[in-house]
Amino acid sequence: MTAGQSPPWTIIRVLRWAQNYLQHQGISEPRASAAVLLAHCLRCTRLDLYLRYDQPLSPGELDCYKRLLRRRLAHEPTQYITGHQEFWSLDFLVSPAVLIPRPETELIIEAVLRYVAHLPEGAAGRRILDVGTGSGVLAVVLAKELAQVQVVALDYADAALMVARENCRRHGVQDRVTLIQGDLLAPLAWRSAFDVIVSNPPYVPTWEWEQLPPEIKDHEPRLALDGGPDGLRAIRLLLPQVQDRLKPGGLLALEVGKGQAAVVARWLEETSAYDPPRILPDYQRVGRVVTAVRRPAGNNSALVDDRFLPIPDELP
């Protein structure tokens, strides 16, 4: 570098600049945003950025990075900018047509796998229903983890089903996941019955949705988030339909919002159709997933392990 010349824009220099700039502009997670977007431009991993920290960027790479940073400055989520999100250690395609998968939704997968593991030999469920599949993460992961199952995945939005269909292809389960468009369980044949039913329905109260950060409120689909005045509108509609579709001894697993788990568990208990519901806490110790086993005739014992002992909805 000759006298008066600016130092080259190496990976480490541009990362530091971008992180500081995003932070000063009030963008959430500035360090992660800066690294994810640069790795996307350079078609490498985040680890590669630090292994190649002194590599200069070409003018084309810098232009690419600037375009992505401008989108992030408009509060567009990094997942929509890159088109990818990790879930259950798998890479999924995402778009503004679908909710960005969150780590707490993996608790539904854990609940189903633990339930199946405690069933008698040869009794593992063969048919799973995913209501409101979105990007298809639950349907895809369950199909991959349980090689013998057939999954039916429903969603109201055709654009979401297009994303889910591509994710099924990417992960090689397209032959065992059937995607159907419709409102809740309405499109199913009336005789359809399932061994396991899962759902991550919209559960954010409308007043809370209106106060969400712009990354969520202005970019993620409201249909997948807004659960009405108390956040429970979709769940109220879903529960009666699910009860008629779940086989005796079958498992229901629902993701719910903060403060909702005890309410939903009580509704299930009041039907007398299920063994005592269980609440699975997330890593913030908030009741996040409600599970219930459809009561077989003459059998009131649930096939679940000690992790599903009833707990208060909020813990100290």
Which domain CATH number covers 296?
3.40.50.150
* Helix 11-24 / helix 30-42 crossing angle, nearest 10 deg: 140
Both tokens assigned to 212: 């969400």
Same domain, 147 and 244: yes
Whole-number Å distance between alpha carbons of 60 and 54: 17
Same domain, 36 and 140: no
Same domain, 207 and 171: yes
Number of domains in the chain: 2
Residue 89, in any domain of the structure:
no
Same domain, 105 and 46: no
Same domain, 275 and 164: yes
Both tokens assigned to 307: 């992790």
Which helix (H) or strand (E) segment holds residue 116: the answer is helix 106-117
Residue 90, in any domain of the structure:
no
Task: Give me the tens of pLDDT residue by residue for the chain, a chain 316 residues long.
Answer: 455 567 889 999 999 999 999 999 999 999 999 999 999 999 999 999 989 989 999 999 999 999 999 999 999 999 999 999 999 999 999 999 999 999 999 999 999 999 998 877 665 558 999 999 999 999 999 999 998 899 999 999 999 999 999 999 999 999 999 999 999 999 987 778 999 999 999 999 999 999 999 999 999 999 999 999 999 999 999 999 999 899 999 999 999 999 999 999 999 999 999 999 999 999 999 999 999 999 975 444 333 333 333 333 343 3
Same domain, 112 and 50: no
pTM of the entire predicted model: 0.88
Same domain, 260 and 158: yes
CB-CB contact of 312 with 261 (8 Å): no
Whole-number Å distance between alpha carbons of 43 and 209: 35
Same domain, 220 and 304: yes
Same domain, 150 and 257: yes
Residue 3, in any domain of the structure:
no
Residue that finishes a domain, picked among 74, 108, 126: 74
Residue 59 belongs to what domain range? 11-74
Distance of CA 225 to the CA centre of its chain: 12
Same domain, 153 and 297: yes
